[in-house]
Amino acid sequence: MNNSNSIGVFDSGLGGLSIARRIREILPNENLLYVADSAHGPYGDKSAAFITQRSSAIIDFLLEQKAKTIVVACNTATVSSIQELRAKYRVPIIGVEPGIKPAVFKTNTRIIGVLATTQTLKSTSFNELSSNFSDKVKIEVQACPGLMEQVEALDLAGHKTEALVKKYVGSLLERGVDNIVLGCTHYIFLAPLIRKIAGPAIEIINTDFAVAKETARRLTVANLLSSNYALGQEQFYSSGDQPTATKQFSLLWGEPVSVSQF
């Protein structure tokens, strides 16, 4: 392992690009590898065994491409599989989990809401995380079937997407929350719509910047930060349809990119 190798990032689809963008912001000299497992997503309605199997296949690929660390940029994969993945692989593995802790410090009503996938909300890991704060706040959860698919379809503000967001956010507002935690990396791309529907009094919490900072910290501790003065490069892969993936990635990354088949 050497510091010129790449940071590997993966998700069940496009959501992890929000994490990769933050990593690029704070670590501009690092090379990035990104894999979207769109052909097998969403993970939110899959079994933990399936998610672990897919995550392992992706990590094997990223390590073949000389990744020096792995960012599991998917809440569902993190809560379902990260313990098994860390036991299996020797490289640093960084996960992402719903930002309940920062919401606890910001809430005034002592009621916070979490938008997430069904699999995340029923996982042992999520419930353990929630129980750590159950004596401090009431945590209201809302599963959001269909929302990830709207992001994958690049429908970030259409009628169907808005109707789903109104349904899910409205349910949390009715329960008195004043902070809404985005418990899926896909939902970050819907943050403007969520803010519009929730209103200015509601705090929207996501963890993309925190995950990027943790990635930088772990690389620093392991002495794996790039010593290259040039700007880093990105390589994108998808298990889905390539022309579709190229369109998706280019829009969400913010500039034209090419996407290879995974």
Q: Hey, what are 117's tokens?
A: 């996938």
Residue 144 appears among annotated catalytic residues: no
Name residue 180's beta-bridge partners. Answer: 113, 204
SS (H, E, C) 128-181: HHHHCCCCCCEEEEEECCCHHHHHHCCCCCCHHHHHHHHHHHHHHHHCCCCEEE
Question: Could you say which of 93, 184, 211, 219 is catalytic?
Answer: 184
Neighbour count for residue 230 (Cβ, 10 Å):
9
What amino acid positions are annotated as catalytic residues? 74, 184
